[in-house]
Structure 1
Amino acid sequence: MRVMVATQAVNSHLYNIVPMAWALRAAGHEVCVATQPNLLEEAKRTGLTAVAVGDELPAARGELDTADTPYGLTHDITETDPATLTAEYIRGVFADYTSVVCEYSSNQAVLDDLVEFGRAWRPDLLLWDAHTYAGSVASRALGIADARMLPAPDHWARLRTRFLELTGGGSGDDDPLAGYFGEKLAKYGCAFDESVVFGRATIDPLPSWLGIPVEPNHWPVRHIPYSGPSVIPAWLRKEPRRRRVCLTLGQTRRSLGSAVGDNDDRAPAVAFLEALASLDVEIVATLNASQIPAGTSIPDNVRLFDYLPLNALLPSCAAVIHYGGMGTVNVAVAHGVPQLSIPGNIWGERGIMQAVSAQGAGLIADPDNLVEKLREILDNDSFRESALRIRDEMLSRPSPRDLVPQLESLAALATA
């Protein structure tokens, strides 16, 4: 069969879906990645065929400030307080996130090109990144099966489920999510139903202990770390002389920059390095020029790299410091590495790290106690033991290859 993969132009979202795409390719199926032009070269570097859709994803949205809520919106899609999550509040979430986030990441131009390419290429299945809803709409316009793959906790489906419970199955015209997708679908002669939000199947590489409710046709899968093609340097093949700690701010922040309100990573990155200079550890920091000002004095215990694949680096690390993004969390889980985070505010990073901490595999820090919290992790074997336990839980899941027959059946049913 032919499989079209749709993802927004964010590296971490592409990397999350590549192992599943390659499992399909290795099973003999044709696979083509459809993404915006500014991720096209990276998509080609995966070894898969790629096609550009829509216009470039803007690198900056300076008016979006994440000080209080993700993307600076009035409502927070990661909100969990039952008292706050009224039907009216969730309507506000849907109105905010469809009009700003959906239109920013995969707008009408992306959707039109997905449908146009699909009509020419005639795929049997559309596998879409679960934050790239143009993929869901396109699959219905093409009349083919679809499945979504979660790159982060499924707050869309969580809030949709609560909204339906509160409103008794929706609220007619007063339903911003149904209205948004209904308008998109009407252009292609299709109507909205709840499968547009939930997908006809959900492939979930996230740890079960994140605690997000699961919906029908939920398929857990083992997370397979992928960081793009790379060469492992000679020094990384040797045992470190001191305990090694990775410091990374994540691919998503690099990809989106001020689009998510993180207008300047330079000050915190430099402050982190200065604070960590007092420890008898080797710090390997993956920071680029935009995150380290020219002329910055780098401490003696720091190795600074623009980029290193975490999949190659983390097996040698005693801990990893990051902002709480799901991509980095999943790689750390896969390698059994304890985690320390000063959480960001893009997609519920604090909640993610609270779940990691509850598993005993990490801690949440702030800039003032970063060194103290890192010492606690390094000096307490229980963090490593817990990290290895949750790694083993992930390893017990089906591999992407194991899910291929289910996707084949899904496509066959749609064709029938």
Structure 2
Amino acid sequence: MRVLCTVSGWPAHWFPMVPLGWALQAAGHEVRVACPPGQAAAVAAAGLVPAPVLGELDMTFMLRYANLWAARSGAWPYPWPPLHPLTGDPVDPATFDLDAFAETAKRRIATETGTGFAAALDHARRFRPDLVLHDRLSADGLLAAKVLDIPAVAHLWGPVGTAEPDPELYPLPVDYTRAFPRHGVGELTADALRYVVDPCPPGLQPPIRGDRLDVRYQPYNGPGGPGDPMPPGDRPRVCVVWSNSMSRMYGDGAYLVPLVVRALAGMDVDVVLPAHPEDRDRLGELPGRVRVLAATPLHLLLPGCAAVIHHGGAGCAMTALAAGVPQLALTFGAEQRTIGARISATGAGLDLAGHLADEDGIRAAVGALLDDPRYAGAAGELAGRNAERPSAAQLATTLAELAAVPVA
């Protein structure tokens, strides 16, 4: 079987697909990953074969643009202004001509999506896949599968599904190019998603359209080793992990690591903090119980941790889930809020609105995670449910059977 994967320009969106790509390759199937050129090195580092032909649709640009519309409608909750989609400078929504900029934005988005649609279709015609696997925002693969009349399988990256009632969580990009109807395969709507791989265990599964394909969540957080070994200590260890993309999307006020460190400084805990080099200077002087590490795959850091604090990203939440570690999500944006709330609803963690969090609230939440055994118990139960789910190897067999069935 030949499998064409298509991935968008945000690694966290397609990293959950990597173990399935390994399983397909290990089973003898030929796997090719069509990606934006900016993702080719990361795809190759994951041990998969890149085809860097898709458009470079900048997800930071897209989210900043959406934030401007939120501000215009009164739905921007933060006490600082949104950012200009191109420059990243703060924007006054009252004076910014969003209608004029919208034309520029639509042309930019249409150019990149049009490039991706055409390239994916051309590559698929030459590669002749039996099945397409795509992340939720990579509609390039969905178009190719529809035109070639082969199964298309969307892969979720966490507990946000394809049938969410919140319009901010719409699962697909906008087809400004009208490529889908031009190729005679209908409109690009959520109803086009027939098969959906869901890595979430029972109790966390999001609403989806179509057929749900279950798989165990196996963390892949990028290449790398564990760094310097951390000997066990007498105090509970808390991991603080934060994406520097939050500042690029929501502004400097969304970089909460200094606030979190100050909150934890008053607690009897050890803190492990993986930090990007560009963020190290922003941390200032740190307490002695804080150990800063170079970027390290999160799944290598969490064993031995009593809690983890993060921004509500799916990769952080799902990796903590698989490790059975209670988590505190300090969230910004609709997707992060949803993920944080859904983890909290399982009893395996807590969530706070990032722009409202303060030192006292963070200390109280972390104290609850450490002192109340129900959180550790729920986190362990969720990890157990995850471990019982079908492996990537089992799902690879299911996909091969699916590809052998003519599309209805």
Residue 307 of structure 1: aligned partner:
295
Q: Does 1:247 align with 2:240?
A: yes
Determine if contact 1:64/1:73 at 8 Å carries over to the other structure.
Answer: no
**Could you say if the C-alpha distance between residues 411 and 245 of structure 1 is closer, same or farther in structure 2, counting changes exceeding 3 Å?**
same
Determine which of 339, 343, 346 is the counterpart of 1:359: 346
Determine if contact 1:276/1:371 at 8 Å carries over to the other structure.
Answer: yes
Q: Which amino acid aligns with 1:311?
A: H
State the 1:121 CA deviation. 1.4
| Bigger Cα displacement from structure 2, 106-115 vs 149-158 | 149-158
Residue 174 of structure 1: aligned partner:
none
Per-residue deviation, residues 26-70 of structure 1 (Å, max 9, x unmatched): 11001011111111101000111111123434374398277798x
State the 1:155 CA deviation. 4.6
State the 1:183 CA deviation. 2.1
Q: CA RMSD in A?
A: 3.3
| Bigger Cα displacement from structure 2, 59-68 vs 331-340 | 59-68
Residue 116 of structure 1: aligned partner:
122
Q: Which amino acid aligns with 2:288?
A: D
| Bigger Cα displacement from structure 2, 106-115 vs 326-335 | 106-115
Q: Secondary structure at the match of 1:209?
A: coil
Residue 45 of structure 1: aligned partner:
45
| Bigger Cα displacement from structure 2, 379-388 vs 283-292 | 283-292
Q: Secondary structure at the match of 2:252?
A: coil
**Could you say if the C-alpha distance between residues 363 and 155 of structure 1 is closer, same or farther in structure 2, counting changes exceeding 3 Å?**
same
Q: Does 1:2 align with 2:2?
A: yes
Return the alpha-carbon distance in structure 2 between the equivalents of residues 193 and 383 of structure 1. 41
State the 1:389 CA deviation. 0.7
Return the alpha-carbon distance in structure 2 between the equivalents of residues 302 and 204 of structure 1. 36
What pairs up with 1:379-394 in 2 under 5 angstroms?
A: 379-394=371-386
Determine if contact 2:162/2:207 at 8 Å carries over to the other structure.
Answer: no
Q: Secondary structure at the match of 2:406?
A: helix
Determine if contact 1:178/1:192 at 8 Å carries over to the other structure.
Answer: no
Unaligned runs of 5+ in 2: 76-101
**Could you say if the C-alpha distance between residues 12 and 105 of structure 1 is closer, same or farther in structure 2, counting changes exceeding 3 Å?**
farther
TM-score by length of 1: 0.79
Q: Does 1:218 align with 2:212?
A: yes
Return the alpha-carbon distance in structure 1 between the equivalents of residues 15 and 3 of structure 2. 17
Q: Which amino acid aligns with 1:64?
A: R
What pairs up with 1:306-385 in 2 under 5 angstroms?
A: 306-347=294-335, 349-365=336-352, 366-368=357-359, 369-385=361-377
Return the alpha-carbon distance in structure 1 between the equivalents of residues 35 and 173 of structure 2. 25
Q: Secondary structure at the match of 1:342?
A: strand
Per-residue deviation, residues 251-289 of structure 1 (Å, max 9, x unmatched): xx53x863xx32226752222222222222111112224
Determine which of 390, 397, 407 is the counterpart of 1:405: 397
**Could you say if the C-alpha distance between residues 402 and 106 of structure 1 is closer, same or farther in structure 2, counting changes exceeding 3 Å?**
farther
Return the alpha-carbon distance in structure 1 between the equivalents of residues 229 and 251 of structure 2. 33
Q: Which amino acid aligns with 1:354?
A: A
Return the alpha-carbon distance in structure 2 between the equivalents of residues 398 and 326 of structure 1. 20
Return the alpha-carbon distance in structure 2 between the equivalents of residues 216 and 57 of structure 1. 27
**Could you say if the C-alpha distance between residues 380 and 346 of structure 1 is closer, same or farther in structure 2, counting changes exceeding 3 Å?**
same
Return the alpha-carbon distance in structure 2 between the equivalents of residues 390 and 178 of structure 1. 31
State the 1:350 CA deviation. 2.1
Determine if contact 1:105/1:132 at 8 Å carries over to the other structure.
Answer: no
Per-residue deviation, residues 202-244 of structure 1 (Å, max 9, x unmatched): 11002332353343321111100111221223423x3234211
| Bigger Cα displacement from structure 2, 303-312 vs 208-217 | 208-217
Return the alpha-carbon distance in structure 2 between the equivalents of residues 127 and 273 of structure 1. 40
Determine if contact 2:55/2:114 at 8 Å carries over to the other structure.
Answer: no
What pairs up with 1:162-173 in 2 under 5 angstroms?
A: none
Residue 18 of structure 1: aligned partner:
18
| Bigger Cα displacement from structure 2, 392-401 vs 129-138 | 129-138
Determine if contact 2:194/2:209 at 8 Å carries over to the other structure.
Answer: no
Return the alpha-carbon distance in structure 2 between the equivalents of residues 73 and 297 of structure 1. 39
State the 1:159 CA deviation. 4.1
Q: Does 1:270 align with 2:238?
A: no
Determine if contact 2:57/2:109 at 8 Å carries over to the other structure.
Answer: no
Q: Which amino acid aligns with 2:342?
A: A
Return the alpha-carbon distance in structure 2 between the equivalents of residues 307 and 138 of structure 1. 36
Return the alpha-carbon distance in structure 1 between the equivalents of residues 391 and 250 of structure 2. 35
Choose between structure 1 and 2 for higher RCO, CA contacts under 8 A separated by at least 6 residues.
1
Determine if contact 1:322/1:342 at 8 Å carries over to the other structure.
Answer: yes
**Could you say if the C-alpha distance between residues 352 and 106 of structure 1 is closer, same or farther in structure 2, counting changes exceeding 3 Å?**
farther
Residues matched between the structures, number: 371
State the 1:399 CA deviation. 0.9
**Could you say if the C-alpha distance between residues 17 and 309 of structure 1 is closer, same or farther in structure 2, counting changes exceeding 3 Å?**
same
Q: Secondary structure at the match of 2:302?
A: helix
Q: Which amino acid aligns with 1:353?
A: G
Q: Secondary structure at the match of 2:203?
A: helix
**Could you say if the C-alpha distance between residues 214 and 156 of structure 1 is closer, same or farther in structure 2, counting changes exceeding 3 Å?**
closer
Determine if contact 1:277/1:300 at 8 Å carries over to the other structure.
Answer: no
Q: Which amino acid aligns with 2:235?
A: R
State the 1:305 CA deviation. 2.4
Residue 93 of structure 1: aligned partner:
none
Return the alpha-carbon distance in structure 1 between the equivalents of residues 240 and 174 of structure 2. 43
TM-score by length of 2: 0.81
Determine if contact 1:182/1:192 at 8 Å carries over to the other structure.
Answer: no
State the 1:188 CA deviation. 2.9
